[in-house]
A and B are shown apart, each in its own frame.
Chain A
Amino acid sequence: MITVIVGLLALVLEVLAVFWLMPLREGSPYNLLGFLTVHGVASLCLAAFVSAMLPPGLRRPVPAVIMLLFAFSFFIPVLGLIGQVVAVLVARFLPRAIVELPYGEIPPIQFEFPPREIRERTKYGAGGLTSRLRHLGVAKEARFKSLLALQGMPPRIANPLLQDMLGDPIDEVRLVAYGILDNQEKMINRHIYEEMQKLEPAPRPELKLIALRRLAELYWELVYKRLVYGDVREHALAQTARYLADAMRIASDDAGLWFLMGKMLLCKRDPAAEAAFHRAVSNGLEESRALAYLGQIAFERRDYREVRRIFSVLSRTRYAPRLKAAVRYWSRPAEDAQPA
């Protein structure tokens, strides 16, 4: 604000100085002296105004900058002032588009070594991997590489293959397969233990619900990822059911819990699964997520008409890409969809 006042003051004083000079024609040297005084004060005010408007980097050293600006307007009356005001306006409202940064430029780094492994990369599909792994005649290195590639596959598909590899005659293959499986299982078991700890000093219901839900999901994950078999699998399923039941005592209408319940019952081939999925949907689960499961239940009941109905509904929704083949097959009209 003060800056603006000082600027305006400079303008007023300069105008005043010019008017002061007007009587010069009549030849009075006092007028000149008066002009120079008022013009000098105006120039000083302008110098102060302009320097305040300059970008910070250009303001220093202050005395020299003020002197320079003062000299401009003092020795070029009127025009100096106009010029500086224009300069300030331009600097303020039309700055240079390219700002100069305090960085130097260095030439781009040459990427020296050839990306050898891209050229030599082997491409394995899931089928190729399976046969390569199962076939003991395949060279040790190739089988080992296939085993490594398994890590890029979804665990539910890779894990049964890894389980098979546990009986491999080659120690490395066997032990690496073991390591991959063991790490997954260890991770889940660690989470199970952590959640169990949270239940110890009976927490508030909402926190208890979170822990119970997590426990049910974690035990289910052991089964879903096909990490456990036999009695341990039975135990994991029993624990899933137990924690689901506990959680449902707190939140009986939770869509997620009902969905998990449906998946767990389906896995046990329990007919109650269907009702659980419907319950999940009626509690707010997006229908398309339950449809494939309902389709599976109908299929296992050999109710193919119902399967077709469900899949044609599914085909109009956004379903998981892996279901594409099943959806295409089952949503065709009945006459050309004869199961083989």
Chain B
Amino acid sequence: MKQERPPKGREADIGLLLEGTFPYVAGGVSSWVNQMMRGFPELSFAVVFIGSLEEEYGEAKYELPENVVHFERHYLYEKREPPQIKKVEGDVGAFTAVEEMHRYFRAPRAHAEGRAIFQRLAPELAGGKLNQEDFLYSHRSWEFLSAQYREFSSDPSFVDYFWTVRTMHGPVWILAEIAKNLIPCRAYHTISTGYAGLLGALLKYRTGRELILSEHGIYTKERRIDLFNANWIPDNRVIFQRDPTEIAYFRQMWMRFFEGVGKICYDAADVIVALYEGNRLRQIDDGADPARTMNIPNGIDIARYAPLRKERPAATPRVVALIGRVVPIKDVSTFIRAMRTVVNRLPDAEGWIIGPEDEDPQYAQECRNLAAGLGLAEKIRFMGFQPMTEVLPRIGVIALSSISEALPLVLLEGFAAGVPAVATDVGACRQLIYGLSDEDQALGAAGSVVGIADPQSLGLAAVDLLTDREKWHAASLSGIGRVEAYYNQEQMFERYRAIYEAHAWQA
């Protein structure tokens, strides 16, 4: 951290709840958080950072803005002493509510009172009738857990079941403790569901202040995919119990845990913001109340990028750039393969990978190996983090090969600097490149959209833009027109200002 000691204030206007992002992880969401706080200099912010383990995050990548009056960080999977073992009976009422809540998670639509149950339970989690001791040591807890195992588990190992439940629920009490000790805020704003969202719900029910949720990616969906590909989850079924179409039970448990946590956050949030319509529909599908949802797209500081248009050389540089962290979700390997197609047709073309590699060094190494395996070691440059204003004028086309995105800022920044893009058909990319409303679509295509993991199409689309001068110009103009009309940060600030006014200064 640049600041020697993080600020510790007494109260703040907005309590910003961040999980695995600003200020320790660089990326789109972190930039957005940074941009938002700087966009509201008149408000004071209390920032709560939640991470898994301290060693997974390096130095802070962003300096805290002046208006951050309070900063605290917590690591949920850090080794800590469990409370002292003692004989606890457990409160009948509390455990009946817990049971009821689990029933609600299994069938949210069939259970009208679901939302109220967690509201009742939230204050009991720290210093109430459902403390961590009650969860870990009470008779009722044991009875509930073994009954659930008998009723639902399709995995034979009770031992694994027992520890999965314990590990999974551990953070709930840590979050309850954080909620209990956080300085007073006028409203809470969480940037995802998940643990940060759960903390938001706990804070809301504890303090009665309102909760705003801005979701960039869909947290629950991303966890589902992570968990599906995770290889640390045991599966103890023997061959006769195994059904090829069925996911291992503990995997399902983890997925349902995050779904439940997401549901709690949607239930608690007074405003649910998505970046684009596709994600808003997904939120509703996951249980968000449609009446509380809305779309606010990302916006950027166009004045910062507009002057770069003049710095561009007359001929389109034969450079295809992937700008983003070198992590699996960006599918950098597809970009590298696409460069094989580009270089086959344009031997002087280069592929630049601009973004930090420290988040997943193993993946970064795999990408380098892949480039070598494809005979592209000379053609692909891993450039690390670079200031956008310096690299954008030297780029011909921005390539975005991600397998999942929300509304990528990097495309907007590229458009503002006059650089068209080829992107995979994920998140709001189609809307950014081809336009949303009729008026927007009339501006033309700012590049092209291809399927995910389709290096051939991605490469050909890039070649098409690099070689067809007229097409490139048209795309560049469309991008500029679109970003200026619809993705200006002022529009975004205005809409959030209205939300903050309505929900932070409520009666």
Checking A115, A124, A149, A228 against B240 with a beta-carbon cut-off of 8 angstroms, the contacting residue is A115
A-B contact count (CB 8 A): 110
Number of residues of chain A lying within 8 A (CB) of chain B? 42
Does B456 contact A230, Cβ atoms closer than 8 Å? Answer: yes
A232 closest partner in B (C-beta): B337
Does A175 contact B241, Cβ atoms closer than 8 Å? Answer: no
B490–chain A nearest beta-carbon distance, Å: 31
Asked if B451 CB lies within 8 Å of chain A CBs, one says: yes
Does A190 contact B366, Cβ atoms closer than 8 Å? Answer: yes
Given contacts A117-B241, A176-B228, contact A189 B366 (CB under 8 A): yes
- Complex CA gap A148/B404 in Å reads 20
- Complex CA gap A230/B150 in Å reads 52
A54–chain B nearest beta-carbon distance, Å: 45
B221 closest partner in A (C-beta): A171
A236–chain B nearest beta-carbon distance, Å: 9
Asked if A181 CB lies within 8 Å of chain B CBs, one says: yes
Asked if A192 CB lies within 8 Å of chain B CBs, one says: yes
- Complex CA gap A85/B502 in Å reads 105
Does A149 contact B341, Cβ atoms closer than 8 Å? Answer: no
Asked if B178 CB lies within 8 Å of chain A CBs, one says: no
Given contacts A112-B150, A166-B451, contact A148 B372 (CB under 8 A): no
Does B453 contact A166, Cβ atoms closer than 8 Å? Answer: yes
Which chain A positions have C-beta within 8 A of B451?
Answer: 166-167
Does A230 contact B245, Cβ atoms closer than 8 Å? Answer: no
Does B453 contact A116, Cβ atoms closer than 8 Å? Answer: no
Checking B156, B340, B404 against A235 with a beta-carbon cut-off of 8 angstroms, the contacting residue is B340
Which chain A positions have C-beta within 8 A of B112?
Answer: none
Interface residues of B in 293-333 (CB under 8 A from A): 328, 331, 333
Does B373 contact A189, Cβ atoms closer than 8 Å? Answer: yes
Which chain A positions have C-beta within 8 A of B328?
Answer: 182
A116 closest partner in B (C-beta): B154
Given contacts A115-B240, A122-B243, A166-B453, contact A196 B337 (CB under 8 A): no
Residue interface bits A225-245, CB-to-B below 8 A is 1, else 0: 000111110010000000000
Which chain B positions have C-beta within 8 A of A176?
Answer: 225, 228-229
- Complex CA gap A294/B366 in Å reads 39
Asked if A174 CB lies within 8 Å of chain B CBs, one says: yes
Which chain B positions have C-beta within 8 A of A117?
Answer: 154, 237, 241-243, 246
B240 closest partner in A (C-beta): A118
Does B452 contact A193, Cβ atoms closer than 8 Å? Answer: no
Asked if A172 CB lies within 8 Å of chain B CBs, one says: yes
A163 closest partner in B (C-beta): B453
Which chain A positions have C-beta within 8 A of B237?
Answer: 117
Does A113 contact B366, Cβ atoms closer than 8 Å? Answer: no
Give A contacts to B, CB under 8 Å. 111-113, 115-118, 120-122, 124, 145-146, 148-149, 151-152, 166-167, 171-172, 174-176, 178-179, 181-183, 185-186, 189-190, 192-193, 196, 228-232, 235
* Given A166-B454, A178-B331, A179-B225: 9 more A-B contacts, CB < 8 Å: A117-B237, A122-B245, A148-B247, A149-B244, A166-B451, A166-B453, A186-B366, A190-B369, A230-B455
Q: List 24 A-B contacts (CB under 8 A).
A: A113-B153, A113-B156, A117-B237, A117-B242, A120-B243, A121-B245, A145-B246, A167-B452, A171-B218, A171-B221, A175-B403, A176-B225, A176-B229, A179-B225, A186-B333, A189-B369, A190-B366, A190-B369, A196-B373, A228-B337, A230-B341, A230-B456, A230-B459, A235-B340
Give B contacts to A, CB under 8 Å. 149-150, 153-154, 156, 218, 221, 224-225, 228-229, 237, 240-247, 282, 328, 331, 333, 337, 340-341, 344, 366, 369-370, 372-375, 403-404, 425, 451-456, 459
Question: Which A-B residue pairs are the 6 nearest by beta carbons?
Answer: A230-B456, A145-B245, A193-B369, A231-B341, A149-B244, A152-B244
